[in-house]
Structure 1
Amino acid sequence: MSKRILLIEDDREISQLIASHLKQENYTVVAAFDGEEAAELFRKEKFDLILLDLMLPKVSGMDLLKQIRETSVVPVLIISAKDSDLDKALGLGFGADDYVSKPFSIIELTARVQAAIRRATQYIQAESEPASHTIQYKDVILDLHTFSAQVRGQNVQLTSKEFHILKLFFTHQSRVFTKEQIYQLIWEDDYFGNENVINVHIRRLREKIEEDPSTPEYIRTIWGIGYKLGV
């Protein structure tokens, strides 16, 4: 069964271009042209990925993203002409998995779609041994089947990127990762020195799992190098 993508873009010409190309790659694409229509489609149907423009009529892309993240960890890729560091930081901070600035290469966009869907599905495949379904460090448990996390006995909703970053640290407990390595391993893309993407995700992750994010016990900063698990 082909993967289903909700494409939210008010420019019908751009929407048609993206949809046509993704359909050639065997994706099922459902198009919405404003925030209200998109919210209704999201409530009624199941999607494997969302492509979201920020500048939408009726309901803004940022507000729509916040609504989506209240109930779902479906991968969300922002596609927007608003390409300032602040806009990117806000989008990633509210739970987007990636940010593609307009104008973009349709080939690059397709590659990012493929990578996001692959990352979101690879950890929910059934494992042969029940013991391999979870990874635990201190008071945090990651469930690789349900793509969920428990922190001190409470369910905590992580985005796809946050989950994969945490899994990376949990499975390499003594290793220090540079920001470049984290980006290449999680985003599966070349790193162009945009530290803001990594900083935002680490900050949001700390806010969700740390008792005191200002003095983290789980994700430690190794100054001048990167991050490691707090052991």
Structure 2
Amino acid sequence: MNENTTILIVDDEKAIVKMLEMMLKKEGFHAIYTAHTGKDALAILNKNQIDIIILDVMLPDGSGFDFCPKIRELSTAYILFLTARVSDLDVLTGFATGGDDYVTKPFNPLEVAARIKAFLRRNSKVVIQTNEAISKKYDFDRFLLDESAGELFVNGESVPCPTQVYMLLLYLCKHPNIVFSKSALLEAVWGYDNYVDENTVSVHIRRIRERIEEDPSNPRYLLTVRGLGYKLVKGTRL
């Protein structure tokens, strides 16, 4: 699995890039691309299929937060931010711009490897379940999630869906009309709850609503159950 995974490291600190590259190769990852600016990263993404992006927030030609939406125009890759910023606002900004996870500097490179492996394990489970479920589709009238194709369709049109957003939506589609707390969703979809706070779920819920709801501020499908969590319902909300 590791040898087929393509990784792009984007950081202007060459020592960090080299350290991450060496560590990832020791962990069995060999298809590794590197860039020291956001511009160079976009050029690589234009020419290559990338599965995972390790993206520094502070780049010489702009913020990683600013580049993330541009990356999302080219790729649905799993994006892991490297950031020295630790405030809730900064973390939420990272998720809101399209990131999937973050590690704060200074960091242990093995933690980065652990995050990547956790993502690959979750993604592998999705692929296995997809192969076992022939043409499994979840139809909610306005939108349809095609598990076998790994695609989201809204009003018949394919809508780009970053990996973590897709995996959260898929989990909810598989368990309609059930209320899940934020902590339960973190454990089920992210696979851990030690490093990421529950705001992660709130941001990804909003990203789902922006895709599937006609009016994200007045959701019909993905509802908030006050004091309990969220649930995905079928049919028209009464």
| Match 1:15 to one of 17, 28, 32 | 17
| Match 1:201 to one of 186, 197, 204 | 204
Identity %: 35
State whether residues 57 and 83 of structure 2, in contact with CA within 8 Å, keep that contact through their aligned partners in structure 1: yes
Aligned partner letter, 1:127 = N
Q: Distance in 2 between matches of 1:129 and 1:184?
A: 23
List aligned pairs for 1:28-177, cutoff 5 A.
28=30, 29-124=32-127, 127=131, 130-132=134-136, 134-177=137-180
Q: Distance in 2 between matches of 1:118 and 1:30?
A: 22
Q: Distance in 1 between matches of 2:135 and 2:15?
A: 50
Aligned partner letter, 2:134 = P
SS, match of residue 50 in structure 1: strand
CA deviation digits over 1:160-192, x for unaligned, max 9?
111111111111113211100111111111256
State whether residues 123 and 145 of structure 1, in contact with CA within 8 Å, keep that contact through their aligned partners in structure 2: no
CA deviation digits over 1:12-51, x for unaligned, max 9?
1111111111110111222111112111111112221110
Distance 1:108 1:130, change over 3 A: same
Distance 1:68 1:52, change over 3 A: same
Question: Please, what TM-score do these two structures have when normalized by structure 2?
Answer: 0.89
SS, match of residue 10 in structure 1: coil
Q: How many residues of Structure 1 are paired with residues of Structure 2 in the alignment?
A: 230
Q: Distance in 1 between matches of 2:176 and 2:33?
A: 41
Aligned-residue offset at 1:120: 3.8
Distance 1:187 1:129, change over 3 A: closer
State whether residues 92 and 200 of structure 1, in contact with CA within 8 Å, keep that contact through their aligned partners in structure 2: yes
State whether residues 45 and 74 of structure 2, in contact with CA within 8 Å, keep that contact through their aligned partners in structure 1: no
Q: Distance in 2 between matches of 1:58 and 1:214?
A: 34
Aligned partner letter, 2:10 = I
Q: Distance in 2 between matches of 1:196 and 1:128?
A: 33
State whether residues 8 and 34 of structure 2, in contact with CA within 8 Å, keep that contact through their aligned partners in structure 1: yes
| Match 2:5 to one of 3, 6, 19 | 3
CA deviation digits over 1:40-69, x for unaligned, max 9?
111112221110001011243122211111
The runs of at least 4 aligned residues of structure 1 exceeding 4 Å deviation read none
113-122 vs 79-88, greater mean Cα deviation: 113-122
Question: Please, what TM-score do these two structures have when normalized by structure 1?
Answer: 0.91
State whether residues 6 and 50 of structure 1, in contact with CA within 8 Å, keep that contact through their aligned partners in structure 2: yes
Q: Distance in 1 between matches of 2:119 and 2:133?
A: 26
Q: Distance in 1 between matches of 2:195 and 2:114?
A: 17
87-96 vs 117-126, greater mean Cα deviation: 117-126
